[in-house]
Structure 1
Amino acid sequence: MLNQGIGSWPTRRARKTPDRVAVIHEDRAWTYREFHQRVLRLAHGLQDVGVVRGDRIAYLGPNHPSFLETLFAAGLLGAVFVPLNNRLTAPELAYNLSDSGSTVLIHAPEQACAARAAADEAGVRHRITLDGSHEGALGYEEVLAGGGTDPLDEPVAPDDPCMIMYTSGTTGRPKGAVLSHANVVWNSVNVLVDTDLGGDEVTLVAAPLFHTAGLNMTCLPTLLKGGRVVLLTAFDATRVLETIENLRVTYMFGVPTMYDAMAAQPRWSTTDLSSLRTLNCGGAPVPARTIATYLARGLAFSQGYGMTEASPGILFLDKEQTSAKAGSAGVPHFFTDTRMVLPDGLDAGPGQRGEILVQGPHVMTGYWNRPEETEAVFADGGWLRTGDVARTDTDGYAYIVDRAKDMFVSGGENVYPAEVEEAVLSHPAVAECAVIGVPDQTWGEVGRAVVVLGPGAHADEPGILDHLHGKLAKYKIPKSVVLTDSLPRTATGKIVKSAVRASYANTPADDPHR
């Protein structure tokens, strides 16, 4: 085949295991033969509306088979897939669409209003809706029905761009990490080697597919291996437990908050979990109490550390080491190399703290249309600078100890303070602002805005938080506001975040309900 990218996977799987079940969603199942036919029809339909090689095709919606169909159809055409976070507001979506230059937006009915507004602002040529045509949009099933079934084999090279996954940065503006087909393939190979997935795998995907972990650490490796993927539209702890029992799920990924919610359900102790072989956890360190709760049911976590720019797997802790290396993120994935580097550029020794650098065939090719930022994030020899700090023990196991960047993780979602601070500063009464992450029993961390009001200005916590609704996704909005007279600054005027944390992050934030 001329297509050496992941767009060829449905074709290859259909000729190898056509009658195996590929995808299950809402009590419907598709074999690899049926899945391949739908991908092929969608690719022809996208061609019919003018999609050509290199075009960007965006997708907005919860977990659904059409997400995967769009990804693979884009790969068949040599186009680039752009998954969008369905928790973003219309202005945030418009920025991602405009920055990527997406020409087509496929979206679920739940996101119709935001999709329409964002697409109009970004100048997207075609909107395609999953529930049928709307004013100014095409219907997804109609596009498939009109698509042909002739074989497609566009020349796609391993180093061609496969997807653009947006990840916010400390500048406050999202950056599009460009993952090549080779990046995605090698990450999948790492997962297959280190997680030992089988062709009989039944993988539950309850984490959002627009996240690199939900897509690249669970779903795609399973499809590559020829297992079946069970898609839940969204995470629901009770539904997850029922699905594990009823469909004999063998593998799933989640963040600690998800696993804690499952263990808190009344039916936790009675659900049959005997089919589970692998529980992968990431997004934040797994608390000791969570590890103990699952070990009591005979279940051990495979833990890991990664980032979007690495497709995302970097470090991996096998489940056999869950107790012996509690708190560790593990060792590098099989085809991955890491270094812990001191500020002077020398490698850190055991016990020393150093920035994590990563190298491997799964590391992104760069940031979309951002050559200067791409150059800045790669150290000498092509090592990707993660901005995270870790120490290693004498066995080489890494422990994440700090973040060189200000980013914090809330319920598995990365929150970047600069973006939030920019929104808070748009309040007319706010003169200065610093956003930090503070401990929270449910979400791990939540945001706290430390605010200085302008001279003679008046504002309170509810008013400032209300100002942010519609400007930021809900998970980015701080859960508390502290008013203060001044913020600690360096001699050059830069806010000293470490001093802000020391003064204002000592106690947990009030229990938020998102």
Structure 2
Amino acid sequence: MDHPGVGTWLRKRRAKTPDKAALIYGEGAVMTYRQLADLSDAVSGMLLSHGVGEGDTVAYLGENSPEFLATLFGCAQIGVVFVPVNTRLAPPEILHVLADSRARALIHDRDFGDRLAPLISAVGIRTVVETDDLAVLPPLDPATAPLDVPPDHPAAVIYTSGTTGRAKGAVLTHRNLTWVALNCIIDYDVVSTDVALMISPLFHVASLGMGALPVLLKGGTIVLEKGFEPGRALSLIAEHGVTMLSGVPTTYQLLADHPDWHSTDLSTLATLTCGGSAVPTRILNAYEERGLHFSQGYGMTETSPGATSLAAAMTRSKQGSVGLPHFFTDVRIATDDGSPAASGTVGEIQIIGPNVFPGYLNLPESTAEAFTDDGWFRSGDLGYLDEDGYLFISDRLKDMIISGGENIYPAEVENLISDLDGVTGVAVIGVPDEQWGEVPWAVITVRDAAPLDLGTVRAHLDGRLARYKLPKNLVIVDELPRTASGKVRKTELRSRFARDSS
């Protein structure tokens, strides 16, 4: 017998732990598992009444809220595919997600209404519902039984920027989301008494797949925040006895730098997980002084997203490593000819397991290129395994920039900068930054000393790209370093400007 779909989880929780707090949100409001399951049922009924059913897609644009999770589960239990939209995207980026996913319905926070109005008409979405209206939906008709959705049915489509500049929808199945949750429950020792503070957006696959879902599957409690404010986060940890916290290095740095850091009771914190990039030594030191230790990891949208985790006990002895493969996941290193790499030899990181996605939406060629002939996912990242099997990241083949936990693919920024009059060449690179880990810089060549500056470039990009993707600095050079085949040598640029930024 295979596992049932994600949509069954809240039905089972309603039967097993109906009065347990599932969510704490706002100014101390509590939603039990019964109430969350009932709200999810109501979402299912609303969608069915609008003719949205199995195999259709529903887009969601909104901040962290009970309605976000109720929509996810409400979709899941009737076989509808959930498409969370990054709230920081610019209108053209949102339009692409809505059109590419062929969304039949859109659920959104009221604050996004003005931004969405022209996009809705452009893609012809007929069913549009504000999240405020979900709270007053009638209960699901008992005659309308939810489906037992097969595990390989798509549960969600998460969009990740592509190396060519076109955002790609990674299809995550019910099986993927279940197994990544199980990996987390095992490797992070999630228990039903855990209280997890959720300060990262749920539209990010890490917050959803490795944050919310494992806790809800296990029957724990989530303190759900719309955004991150360090002082409030510290207060919530003490108030609710938070045991679990996840974030990126910037998150943890801002907490440790806050005036309330030393006076806040952090004694209940047991599990700190961090992804996106390595935790700087000074942050490790600050937390270890409070008796706190990190579990770091590596993954990507296509692996739902967890691939490896470094146990807190190994943070120092294996510093720089992203750990061992998750319990139900395997990792290997392949050389240029595809053969297994010896211990300590750098090659492409490849991943296999039930958490690995089946492919990209509407992109069969990209899907085929993403897998080896024997079924391993090709990450495009370079790394090596040490003699104990711990993974170390060496470089990113795709040149992705990770700024404050947000992924930035240079190609989409470069494509738009190239449209500026006078630009003859452009390379966008990640440069180290103390607060954000790294930030994008644009290095360009211009024709006839064209009068371009950072303000002009950012103004050209603003409204076309999410603001976190906009370059933080502009450097005009006489010539971009290139390989014999004409490709820009970004490694050389990163090395040069890393020194300039320090």
- TM-score when scaled to structure 1? 0.94
The reply to whether residue 245 of structure 1 matches residue 238 of structure 2 is: yes
TM-superposed deviation, 1:408? 1.3
Q: Map 1:61-210; keep pairs closer than 5 Å.
A: 61-131=62-132, 139-142=133-136, 144-145=137-138, 148=141, 150=143, 152-210=145-203
The reply to whether residue 382 of structure 1 matches residue 375 of structure 2 is: yes
**In the alignment, what sits opposite 1:55?**
56
Structure 2 residue matching 1:280: 3-state secondary structure: strand
The reply to whether residue 290 of structure 1 matches residue 283 of structure 2 is: yes
Structure 1 residue matching 2:374: 3-state secondary structure: helix
TM-superposed deviation, 1:438? 0.4
Percent identity (aligned): 46
Out of 487-496 and 320-329, give the one that drifted further: 487-496
TM-superposed deviation, 1:465? 1.6
Amino acid at match of 2:358: T
| Structure 2: segments with no counterpart, 5+ residues | none
Looking at structure 1, the residues matched to 2 and 375 of structure 2 have their Cα atoms a distance apart, in angstroms, of: 29
Contact 1:311 1:364 in 2 (8 A): yes
Contact 2:481 2:488 in 1 (8 A): yes
Contact 1:2 1:156 in 2 (8 A): no
TM-superposed deviation, 1:240? 0.7
Looking at structure 1, the residues matched to 18 and 277 of structure 2 have their Cα atoms a distance apart, in angstroms, of: 38
Amino acid at match of 2:385: T
**In the alignment, what sits opposite 1:364?**
357
Looking at structure 2, the residues matched to 50 and 428 of structure 1 have their Cα atoms a distance apart, in angstroms, of: 48
Looking at structure 2, the residues matched to 69 and 171 of structure 1 have their Cα atoms a distance apart, in angstroms, of: 34
**In the alignment, what sits opposite 1:450?**
443
**In the alignment, what sits opposite 2:499?**
506
Amino acid at match of 1:248: G
Question: C-alpha deviations, 1:251-271, integer Å up to 9, x for none?
Answer: 111100000000011110110
**In the alignment, what sits opposite 1:25?**
25
Taking a change above 3 Å as real, the CA distance of residues 508 and 150 of structure 1, as seen in their structure-2 partners, is farther
RMSD over aligned Cα, in angstroms?
A: 1.7
Structure 2 residue matching 1:380: 3-state secondary structure: coil
| Structure 1: segments with no counterpart, 5+ residues | 132-138, 510-514
Looking at structure 2, the residues matched to 416 and 28 of structure 1 have their Cα atoms a distance apart, in angstroms, of: 39
Structure 1 residue matching 2:500: 3-state secondary structure: coil
Question: C-alpha deviations, 1:73-95, integer Å up to 9, x for none?
Answer: 10111000001100001110000
TM-superposed deviation, 1:154? 1.5
Aligned residues: 501
TM-superposed deviation, 1:304? 0.6
Looking at structure 2, the residues matched to 195 and 460 of structure 1 have their Cα atoms a distance apart, in angstroms, of: 47
Looking at structure 2, the residues matched to 231 and 263 of structure 1 have their Cα atoms a distance apart, in angstroms, of: 21
Looking at structure 2, the residues matched to 158 and 167 of structure 1 have their Cα atoms a distance apart, in angstroms, of: 23
Looking at structure 1, the residues matched to 122 and 365 of structure 2 have their Cα atoms a distance apart, in angstroms, of: 27
The reply to whether residue 5 of structure 1 matches residue 5 of structure 2 is: yes
TM-superposed deviation, 1:429? 2.9
Contact 1:390 1:401 in 2 (8 A): yes
**In the alignment, what sits opposite 2:38?**
37
Taking a change above 3 Å as real, the CA distance of residues 499 and 446 of structure 1, as seen in their structure-2 partners, is same
Contact 1:417 1:435 in 2 (8 A): yes
Equivalent of residue 220 in structure 1, options 213, 220, 223: 213
Question: C-alpha deviations, 1:203-232, integer Å up to 9, x for none?
Answer: 111011000111111110000001111100
Structure 2 residue matching 1:452: 3-state secondary structure: strand
Out of 497-506 and 385-394, give the one that drifted further: 497-506
Question: C-alpha deviations, 1:257-289, integer Å up to 9, x for none?
Answer: 000000011110110011111011111111111
- TM-score when scaled to structure 2? 0.97
User: What stretches of structure 1 move > 4 A for 4+ residues in a row?
Assistant: none
